[in-house]
Structure 1
């Protein structure tokens, strides 16, 4: 495609595509294609001017070639990207806002007074009607106050004040609606599906891992325990308990078996199912999440709810004060000064905007927050519990050795068997085994029967008619009663204790021990220190690993307490005990075994590349690259609570001053109304700013 370089500096260029103006779809298509180039670090596309700003690393010519060969028609862009981009939403609200301001001031200059009066009276019908409807429902809330102020202005023939009140109310409504919709859409996009690979069942009844983009309507897809269901479909085989909280809000999983319908985005908590795919694109997933968020009370923090409740409670007092002032002074102007100024609008507008803006800001740091009340809970939290593996330690553990106890097979054979079992389940240790086999070029076609996953213990199956298990010491030796082969005891005793161990046993005998190095994250100790400075008084580490491994990690990180060889129910029980003591608890984990504790905590935080079920159950998800995101989340939450309290003080203080000046006769009603509404918008706009500068 033809384009012109308008400006260029090292690692950055601004280009103009040779067309008059882009459609929203074209702009999003260009953005997607450029953004997905490996050398591009930032890109912004301006649809109105057909420009794009690109920041990149490496060879400039690669970017030039990308643009030169770009064509809208041939670009392969998922429809969900176009549907959920938010570009059209932002542009439409920008145009509405500019249009409202231009129309309000231009009509004052261009239209004669009688027409302006008629327009003001006509527009007032909407607000008066809403106020009357509120009264008919036996409620005296903010719409009643707005309607009364407008009505009194009209009765006293102060049409300019009535027009200004409605203009400022309209701008406030527009800003609130825009911020709300944008924040909800940003949140919904971050919660939308991102399943890159799925298990396809072939006509030969084998399971193969394929790109989700290659799945077609009618294909059979296998969903294992702990995984997200990637497409809408019908269950053909199996039985599972499915968590549908993301779509229905139900906290209790529902059973799904042959003949039942399942939906994209829900999670298999227990069991395994094979589904026939009904819909491939899953475009309705985004709309379903938006609806769920908008209807959910999760978006409201306790402080936000109190502010709105307090705002409504103040309305009768404001009306009463207006009437009393008139009775005492017989001065309509002074009474109107109170009516024109109230605390309600600002409280009901600024608080939700503050919360939604904080959720949006968190997303900039790769942190997904599912509701305002969770930010408040993070701010109040004094205890944080870390799972060790994949959380305090790096998300990519590696296999350092395979100790063979089976004379009939080689170490590579044992690694091949282990990878064949582990590839079905989402856990960092399982990934380490699969990656190790891949690096050695060990193919591991399906050689087993149905795989059974026992949470926090291990995996069991049958290979060539022989029961094969892999997992923890407790599972292999205590639950399965496996034994070390005769004569191999010295080898077993000499296993290095500073590594994590996966035990593989066949027919009741230990066949191999896979030694896995799970190095500590470089930033782990600094993050713990930073969290304590941010207000966390107790940091705990819990792991299913051995006492010796856990003690080494705990000492390096600097946690206050640690617990080793714990089961999922132990983690959840600990969280409940801490809550019973009156502590506010954050739980951070990444695996299926962390799910009970994530649910039990005041706030559950999941690592993004962990098990899907952990992300589904968690209230907040953070990226896997850097634990400092948790510290950032804490600071955003602390700053949000400070902003809400600061807004409250500003609103009460400023408006109380306006009322006093109005009653004293220093300021006329038109001025107090203008200052009141102006301050409401200024506080609301200020609430849109980032909390961390």
Structure 2
């Protein structure tokens, strides 16, 4: 720390007060209390308020000790008066009354010691709290300062905040990416640890998304700026973490309410003790040792550390309330597509069931019908049709989605159905070619089948499959290890497909063929059974269930402003193992909160017993009090490891 920081920073007051205390001790030792002139007026001693020296012994060393108390105590008194102005009786008022009382009875050492130790404690609290906020500081530090853009056909280096929307930004090896946007040219490896928490660089090429604050580890990229300044993913993360670290947990709100009653109660206790015993020193000592400082700080410091640690790992937790709730999660509901699977289905089968048609015909009719569909399974059908030269030229005349069953399209004046058996029944199409049996066989193999019918004739069955994530089964195992009793799959897919995925991953319970409102009902049923439920989904089809769950979790939220802002927990990357990691961290954070509360209360009880038993002075009580505050903070800082 520089000399300027010592003079102007948080350590200036305790440093000056400490110097005055040391000077007082040295002066008293040097002159032995015999040759020093008396500095107190005679009325002081006539009033009998001086308890520690005889008349004529108010020495220069006492003046230095009084000065130390004033230097360290004036800020404490100012804070106490400001709090009183807001009708808050706080810890600073207790210390101020104790210090002023010690001065009035001539106990200058106790006044100086109490205020000095309290100011040292404040400085140490500030320093260690800043340390617990280190994850936020690290996020701010990765924000790029400059950017290289193409302007007027030339490369220009400008401040990152001056990049304009739609400009081409050049990202060279070793440089920080200054904007969010897609790669328009070039290839490179990008370290996305600041966003997703993953340390392994990700290969980027044309059309891939990159984020501000990530670092190029090789290659050369040209990026189209679509997110600049406060609209970047990094800026949203910093804003969310900042808000989350200041948000209160339910336990913290209770402690705050408790301290508002506790502090005045301590003052009444001290007053009663002083009146009953006639011992002013005892009353003032009670004010000091009963300070609830460690109790008040025990919760926020743990929340700050826990949320900061999560952010460093690419896990955004919205606030202390959600952190505390996450520690109680006993059931996790997951969507299949995009969560347990990669969310990139591929066409796997085209089964022809009409002797007058071939594979190309079935695929052509299916693609023509799906051309007007927004369903995720439409994409692999259309892509395969285009690759095989049978892709649709235009769009269907009319498309009618039938929730939970499929779609009905008007193609060249003919009605095309693509979906499941109930869709055929609804439109009176007879399955006389064994389409249902074919669909069941494909579903049993873990694929999603769709029956295709033109007018009143079934012509074939197509199937798509989404590859299982490699870490899906490990996620389920780790959730169980983290204390989650039930992992439930909620999917709109058929039961046979869902069961194939569930068997491979170790899912406890499967609910298939669900509509969005059915997923909501399934979550509500888990809650009625007494579970605290976390729902993991894509935030669109699963919105009702996400809103109903105790904790809504967004997967792969990097680049999604909606997910970052609305999810209770946002997993920035697509790593499934972040979910059990988040729950485990929440449990550790709540455990630290409980340890801190117990330590704070135990310290006050022990000190109170020591005061009434004798032997605990104001200065010793304040020393132990500040030590307990530091222990509470250091205990919370373990979460940062």
Same fold (TM over 0.5): yes
Q: Name the CA shift for 1:321/1:511 in 2 (closer, same or farther; >3 Å).
A: farther
Name which of 525, 539, 548 aligns with 1:600: 548
1:11 aligns with none
- Aligned mates of 1:568, 1:298 — CA distance in 2: 34
| Shift, 1:556, TM fit | 3.5
Q: Partner of 2:194 in structure 1?
A: none
Residues 622 and 630 in structure 1, CA contact (< 8 A), matched pair in contact too: yes
1:104 pairs, out of 6, 14, 20, with 14
Deviation at 1:555, TM superposition (A): 3.3
Rounded Cα–Cα distance in structure 1 between residues aligned with 2:243 and 2:228: 24
Report Cα offsets for 1:209-254 as digits up to 9, x if no partner.
xxxx99539xxxxxxxxxxxx99xxxxxxxxxxxxxxxxxxxxxxx
Q: Deviations over 1:239-286 (max 9, x none)?
A: xxxxxxxxxxxxxxxxxxxxxxxxxxxxxxxxxxxxxxx996242677
Correspondence for 1:627: 576
> 1:467 and 1:300 mapped to 2: Cα distance?
61
Is the aligned partner of 1:383 residue 2:293? no
| Matches of 1:188 and 1:466, distance apart in 2 | 59
Q: In structure 2, what is the Cα distance between the partners aligned to 1:131 and 1:483?
A: 81
TM-score, normalised to structure 2's length? 0.66
> Aligned-pair distance for 1:392?
2.5
How far apart, CA to CA, are the structure 1 residues paired with 2:329 and 2:294? 28
Query: 1:178-217 counterparts in 2 under 5 A?
Result: 179=132, 216=166
Q: 2:93 aligns with which of 133, 141, 144?
A: 144
Offset from partner CA, 1:148-173 (integer Å, 9 cap, x none): 34444554432243132123124324
Partners of 1:117 and 1:441 in 2: how far apart?
92
CA distance in structure 1 between the aligned counterparts of 2:613 and 2:594, rounded to whole angstroms: 29
**Structure of higher RCO (CA pairs closer than 8 Å, 6+ residues apart):** 2
For the residues of structure 2 that align with 1:465 and 1:97, how far apart are their CA atoms?
A: 84
Aligned residue number for residue 159 of structure 1: 112
Work out whether 1:658 is the aligned partner of 2:602.
Answer: no
Count, aligned residues:
519
2:496 corresponds to: 548
Report what 2:438 is aligned to: 494
Q: Distance in 2 between matches of 1:132 and 1:662?
A: 28
Q: How far, CA to CA, are the matches of 1:146 and 1:457 in structure 2? A: 67
Question: What stretches of structure 2 of length at least 5 have no aligned partner?
Answer: 25-62, 143-162, 168-179, 182-224
Are the structure 2 counterparts of residues 174 and 503 from structure 1 closer, same or farther at C-alpha, using a change threshold of 3 Å? Answer: same
8 Å CA contact 2:563–2:570 kept in 1: the answer is no
Q: What is the aligned partner in structure 2 of residue 398 from structure 1? A: 346
Distance 1:578 1:412 in 2: 41
Residues 184 and 679 (structure 1), Cα distance of their counterparts in 2 relative to 1, 3 Å cut: same
Return closer, same or farther for 1:384/1:287 CA change in 2, 3 Å cut-off.
closer
Which ranges in structure 1 are unaligned for 5 or more consecutive residues? 1-90, 191-212, 218-229, 232-277
Q: Structure 1 residues 503 and 316 mapped into 2: Cα distance closer, same or farther (>3 Å)?
A: same
Matched residue, 1:473: 420
Measured in 1, the distance between the counterparts of 2:69 and 2:17 equals 11
Q: Per the alignment, in what secondary structure is the counterpart of residue 553 of structure 2?
A: strand
Partner of 2:125: 172
Greater C-alpha Rg: 2
Q: Structure 1 pair 595/377, CA: closer, same or farther in 2 (3 Å)?
A: same
Aligned 1:55-134 pairs, distance under 5 A: 100-101=10-11, 104-105=14-15, 108-109=18-19, 121=70, 124-134=73-83
- Helix, strand or coil: the match of 2:541? helix
- C-alpha change, 1:430 and 1:341, in structure 2 (3 Å) is farther
Q: Secondary structure at the match of 2:332?
A: strand
Q: For 1:592, what is the secondary structure of its paired residue?
A: coil
Partner secondary structure for residue 340 of structure 1: helix
Provide the C-alpha distance between the structure 2 equivalents of 1:385 and 1:660, rounded to a whole number of angstroms.
50
Distance 1:454 1:171, change over 3 A: farther
- Which position in structure 2 is the counterpart of 1:29? none
CA distance in 1, matches of 2:7, 2:582: 32
Helix, strand or coil at the partner of 2:448: strand
From 278, 282, 307, the counterpart of 2:255:
307
Change (3 A) 1:97 1:457: farther
Aligned partners of 2:68 and 2:112 also within 8 Å: no
For residues 451 and 150 of structure 1, the distance between their equivalents in structure 2, rounded to whole angstroms, comes to: 83
* Partner in structure 2 of residue 640 of structure 1: 589
CA shift, 1:447, in A, is: 4.4
> Using the alignment, how far apart are the partners of 1:185 and 1:470 within structure 2?
56
The answer on whether the counterparts of 1:590 and 1:611 sit within 8 Å (CA) in structure 2 is: no
2:314 is equivalent to residue 361 of structure 1:
no
Using the TM superposition, give the Cα deviation of residue 681 of structure 1 relative to its aligned residue in structure 2, in angstroms: 1.7
How much does 1:572 deviate?
0.6
> CA offsets per residue over residues 359-390 of structure 1, 9 Å max, x none?
12223433221122222222222222222222
In structure 2, C-alpha distance between the alignment counterparts of 1:189 and 1:452, rounded to whole Å = 51
Distance 1:455 1:674 in 2: 72
Tell me the distance in 2 between the aligned counterparts of 1:95 and 1:511: 81
Preserved CA contact (<8 Å) 1:104 1:167: yes
Distance 2:80 2:398 in 1: 63
From 569, 573, 583, the equivalent of 2:521 is 573
Distance 2:459 2:70 in 1: 87
Give the drift of 1:598: 1.0
Provide, for residues 338-378 of structure 1, a one-character-per-residue CA deviation record: whole Å limited to 9, x for no partner: 22223521122121111121112223433221122222222
1:337–1:663 contact (8 Å) kept in structure 2: no
Identify the residue that residue 670 of structure 1 maps to in structure 2. 619
Residues 344 and 611 (structure 1), Cα distance of their counterparts in 2 relative to 1, 3 Å cut: same
**Where does residue 321 of structure 2 map in the other structure?**
373
Shifted more, 134-143 versus 545-554: the winner is 134-143
Per-residue deviation, 1:646: 1.2
Q: What is the alpha-carbon distance in structure 2 between the residues aligned to residue 467 and residue 154 of structure 1?
A: 98
The whole-number CA distance in structure 1 between the counterparts of 2:400 and 2:131 is 46
Question: Is 1:281 the equivalent of 2:221?
Answer: no
Counterparts of 1:161 and 1:136, CA distance in 2: 24
Q: CA deviation at 1:306?
A: 1.9
In the superposition, the TM-score normalised over structure 1's length comes to: 0.61
- How far is 1:566 from its partner? 0.7
Shift of 1:470: 9.0
Q: 1:499 to 1:635 in 2, by over 3 A?
A: closer
The structure-2 alpha-carbon separation of the partners of 1:647 and 1:468, relative to structure 1 and needing over 3 Å to count, comes to: farther
Cα distance change, pair 532–281 in 1 and its aligned pair in 2 (3 A): closer
Per the TM alignment, residue 473 of structure 1 is displaced from its structure 2 partner at its CA by: 3.1
